[in-house]
Structure 1
Amino acid sequence: MPDNLAENLASTPRAGTADALANSFATSYAGVVAFLAVADEGSFAKASDRLGIGRSAVSRNVQKLEAQLDARLFLRTTRSTSLTREGELFYRNCHPGVERIVQAIEDMRELRNGPPRGQLRIASTTGFGRKVVAPLLRGFHETYPEIALELSLDEGPPDFTSGRVDVALRDGRMEDSQVVARQLIPMQMIVCATPGYAREHGLPRSVEALAEHRCINFRMASGRVADWEFKVSGHPQKITPHAFATFNDADLVLQAVLEGQGVAQLAGYQACDALRDGRLVACLAQHAPDDRGHYVCYLSRRQLPARIRVFVDYLTEHARALDLDCLSTLPVQAAR
């Protein structure tokens, strides 16, 4: 939100009592901005910090709005602030419009002030963020030094609204009509083990044969163990093998496989380097599932802020240059 926007609107001189539309707009918009900030932050104090105005001004603007709507928007206690049912409905209806106005103001500032600048908040799954996203941030910052970067690694779904996430990197496309999902690189799932494990235990020749091996599973943020995905006789097939070990961090799964502890289905970006230098071998390549894709996601806007646009373009160009497509080399490596 632009600094002092709510306070400035609230203090805008009125043209006269005859102009009811202007009076209503000045009161309503300041109240809506304050209302949205409180709803996003969960408290009046945090909303006042976000807007750069006093807590009393935030409370006053919300109270004027409630009086104008003749509806109570918040349930307030000494410990919490939550939306009423009317408040939830009003939030859903107002938020897109105010975001567009704020975006229009930011676009004009960027146009006037020159090079892309400002805070860019990025959310990514943990393994992909460490392996692909984080190593590219230094080069991006050297190219766009006036953009401050914040990268958060989390397996959970991104919160573009209250979390104020600008760009998210997800494994698989997001099912949200308001989110633009642009495929960054393929997401190939490959069953891997070390050559030492293969010599001692052999490698599974079929999906069913995985039951005879020491499998290592990945537990997702939801608490559910991730399925292993395959394509058998042209049809998708998912299994959750009995696990010798389970981790909730993709890097720990990879480390366990590299130590020869067992077999795991890894994303291509994790396994490619180790497959190419012989530290890992692949199996069941003939049953590799369809590409799910790693996607760069952002909220659908008619005019993207320059800081988001240049980051998406930079990340797309440099991530694709990493050449993480290793399925074509799997038969040779598996044969070795």
Structure 2
Amino acid sequence: MKQNFTVRQGALDGVEAFLCVARHRSFRKAAAELGVTPSAISQAVRVLETRLGAALFIRTTRSVGLTEAGERFLSRAKPAFEELVAAGEVARGLGQRPAGLLRLSVPRAVVPILLEPLIASFCQAYPEIEVEIATSKELIDIGAEGFDAGIRLGQFVPADMVAVPLTPPFRFIVVGSPGYFAERCRPMHTDDLRQHACLRWRQSSGALAPWSFNDNGHAIEIAVSGPLIAHDFPTMLGAAIEGVGLAQLPEPMVAEGVRAGKLVHVLEAYAPVIPGVFLYFPGHRQIMPKLRAFIDHVKSRTAGYGKVRAQDDARRVAARKRG
């Protein structure tokens, strides 16, 4: 059963005035320091004494002294008030400059694609910020878990979050190793996947994710089969490089393997485009300087990605024409 209670209003009212008078042993000097009239200081102290039920000062025409209650109140109130002021300064500092602990929840696949190249430069640019990266494939409640923000593929960002794009949209493409294709024909149509070993991904919900394609503007999904079920993209990438089977993965994740000749694109005409990678955070909170600094830093470092991708696409089109 809930108990009725009343929140005490103005518990700190008059404390600053009391401390200032106790320090100066003068209502007039305390008023001058706080920028108010002596009568205002006197009234604040009287209200405090009434609330406490004890006189705190011995007042005469010549001096101001502390009663026993005033001495005891001073001994406890002074360090507590100073700590409260210090706490306010710390909070104010974090709200005015990039500093403090920045906690991010990210999927493991995003770390090598997006974060590893950026963390060193970000830490150098903002030495007062500590970055904590917690990798998880679960879509956790970042607010309840104490994270400043999360990073996810756009389609997995909760609808009630503010989402900031960190990359342009990119394709989900099917890749396989040259060794895998040494013994098999490359698929030319999505129906050909029935004859191939396809690596699958189990989602956090427990369901196996189908492979998604774009067939002349129509989105289609295909349930594939194969020898391996993984719970994250990096595992699928490693298996594809080793020739275990085909994998459908984000294009930025496989780009290095393709450039190095470890992977080969197939079914490019059917590759769907997904929104990209987003940083997200609760909309009801003000963006702290540490988070704003991270957003700006990442966006400045990834601004050239779209241009590089356009150049790669142009080279692929030219190569197909020459072929």
Aligned CA distance change for structure 1 residues 253 and 213 (closer, same or farther; 3 Å): same
SS of the equivalent of 1:215 reads coil
| Aligned residues with identical type, % of pairs | 26
1:109 to 73, 76, 93: 93
**Correspondence 1:117-266 to 2 at 5 A:** 117-174=99-156, 176-185=158-167, 186-266=169-249
Aligned CA distance change for structure 1 residues 239 and 120 (closer, same or farther; 3 Å): same
SS of the equivalent of 2:279 reads strand
Q: Is the 8 A contact 1:106 1:305 kept in 2?
A: no
1:277 to partner: Cα distance: 2.5
| Structure 2 Cα separation of the partners of residues 169 and 261 of structure 1 | 29
Instruction: Find the structure with the greater CA-based Rg.
Output: 2
1:283 to partner: Cα distance: 0.8
1:308 to partner: Cα distance: 0.6
**Correspondence 1:1-336 to 2 at 5 A:** 12-13=11-12, 108-110=92-94, 115-174=97-156, 176-185=158-167, 186-301=169-284, 303-321=286-304, 325=309, 329-330=315-316
| Structure 2 Cα separation of the partners of residues 139 and 302 of structure 1 | 27
SS of the equivalent of 1:243 reads coil
1:301 to partner: Cα distance: 4.4
Aligned CA distance change for structure 1 residues 116 and 244 (closer, same or farther; 3 Å): same
1:215 to partner: Cα distance: 0.9
Q: Is the 8 A contact 1:189 1:266 kept in 2?
A: yes
- Equivalent position amino acid for 1:188 in 2: R
**Alignment TM-score, normalising by the size of structure 1:** 0.64
| Structure 2 Cα separation of the partners of residues 111 and 14 of structure 1 | 25
Match of 1:42 in 2: none
Aligned CA distance change for structure 1 residues 235 and 220 (closer, same or farther; 3 Å): same
| Structure 1 Cα separation of the partners of residues 89 and 139 of structure 2 | 28
- Equivalent position amino acid for 2:294 in 1: F
Match of 1:64 in 2: none
Q: Is the 8 A contact 1:128 1:269 kept in 2?
A: no
Aligned CA distance change for structure 1 residues 175 and 311 (closer, same or farther; 3 Å): closer
1:256 to partner: Cα distance: 0.9
5+ residue gaps in structure 1?
Answer: 1-8, 16-103
- Equivalent position amino acid for 1:200 in 2: E
Q: Is the 8 A contact 2:94 2:100 kept in 1?
A: no
**CA displacement 1:87-121 (0-9 Å, x = unmatched):** xxxxxxxxxxxxxxxxx998743456xx4101111
Match of 1:37 in 2: none
| Structure 2 Cα separation of the partners of residues 106 and 303 of structure 1 | 17
1:197 to partner: Cα distance: 1.8
SS of the equivalent of 1:126 reads coil
**CA displacement 1:220-268 (0-9 Å, x = unmatched):** 2222222211011210011120122111121111111111121111111
**CA displacement 1:162-187 (0-9 Å, x = unmatched):** 11111211012456454111222133
| Structure 1 Cα separation of the partners of residues 126 and 148 of structure 2 | 16
- How large is the Cα RMSD of the aligned pairs? 2.9
**CA displacement 1:40-86 (0-9 Å, x = unmatched):** xxxxxxxxxxxxxxxxxxxxxxxxxxxxxxxxxxxxxxxxxxxxxxx
Q: Is the 8 A contact 2:211 2:248 kept in 1?
A: yes
5+ residue gaps in structure 2?
Answer: 1-7, 15-87
Matched residue count: 239
